[in-house]
Amino acid sequence: MALAARQQAKHVDLGTSTTFRKQRYNRDGLDKVSLRRINCTLQISLNRMSKCCSSHCVITSAMQTNKYEPLLSNESTLIIVRHGESMWNEKNLFTGCVDVPLTRKGVEEAIEAGKRISAMPFDVVYTSALVRSQMTAMLALTQHCCQKVPIFIHNDNEEAEIWNKIYSQDTKNESIPVIKAWQLNERMYGDLQGLNKQETAEVFGKEQVYKWRRSYEVRPPNGESLEMCLQRAVSYFKDNIEPQLMAGKHVMVVAHANSLRSIIMYLDNLTPQEVINLELSTGVPMLYIYKDGKFIRRGSPAGPKEAGVYAYTSDLARYKDKYNTMR
């Protein structure tokens, strides 16, 4: 009789049989209150899983805990994005470190950027301290396939850390940290900030304005040169972002034309003369693969259906396959 009962129990669906769960827990000596708590926890977990499936989230045991599968090789992905069009971009004004929001077009660019990287894995996001960068990052992440909640990390002081603390591990697992850094801010344009670019060129001459805007060492009046911007942006990248990539984390950086030009100069080993001609469009993501201590530039992802982009690494291919399985 006991043997027959054990054989019959082997064929019971453990995921759906409430009776079996009650019998198993009762044999372990749990009381009815404990049993109700366990059943309640199981039901909450099933509801969360169902909700995630309905939103096209990639369902795997690793993804549910916000952890990607171990890397098959020493590789990770870096996405860099210049913010969408700002209200001063639209007006053709020198913006620099003035904190200006996006235009409607900039919002659309941010959302489109998010669609193009919606099937890319992300573990952490970095933005500048300026709102146009932060808006772009947040809007882009609303398009991500797993619908993780982007949450800014406020750790300026002990009080900020306490007030910003999340006490649910499940909630942490369903979110993605967003870290803001002033070192990733746009180049400070000094006395030019707020001036119209065309009018400034008419007053000082196109050649002089071009030197202020594009040269490597020349500073605008009371502003930063690209070389000065590079020192702070690249130093921050080396100290904070590159270690994440070395650890196998997938990273997105949303910043500005000159701070990103500085970082790209480092990633691509560009000379000061080469970086002068580097153009970055607003709201267009750029993909790099970090592998074996080297950065490999792969251009701009065209969207989750672009097979060529995901052939660059085994991790991207696996991530895309999981995403497509749930579509």
Q: Is 83 known to be catalytic?
A: yes
* 67's tokens: 């952890």
Q: Which of 174, 186, 224, 242 is catalytic?
A: 186
Name, in order, each residue with C-beta under 8 angstroms of 132's C-beta and a sequence gap of 6 or more.
83, 84, 86, 99, 100, 101, 102, 106
Which pair of structure tokens corresponds to residue 8? Answer: 């019959």
CA distance 53 to 57: 5
Q: Which of 259, 313, 301 shows the shortest CA–CA distance to 119?
A: 301
Residue with tokens 């967003």, as numbered in its chain: 178
Task: Supply 27's token pair.
Answer: 């044999």
d(Cα 82, Cα 279) in Å, to the nearest integer? 11
Q: Measure CA of the first residue to CA of the last residue in the chain; give whole Å.
A: 47
In DSSP terms, 79 is beta-bridged to: 252, 287
Distance separating alpha carbons of residues 165 and 154, to the nearest angstrom:
9
CA 200, CA 193: separation in Å to the nearest integer?
Answer: 11
Q: Which helix (H) or strand (E) holds 120?
A: none
- Alpha helices by DSSP H, listed for the chain, are 2-10, 18-27, 32-54, 61-64, 87-90, 104-116, 131-141, 158-163, 169-173, 197-204, 206-214, 226-236, 242-246, 257-267, 272-276, 307-310, 314-325
Of residues 83, 144, 250, 256, which has the active-site annotation? Answer: 83
Token pair listed for 61: 């045991």
Verify whether residue 250 is a known catalytic residue. no
Looking at the annotation, which residues are catalytic? Answer: 83, 186
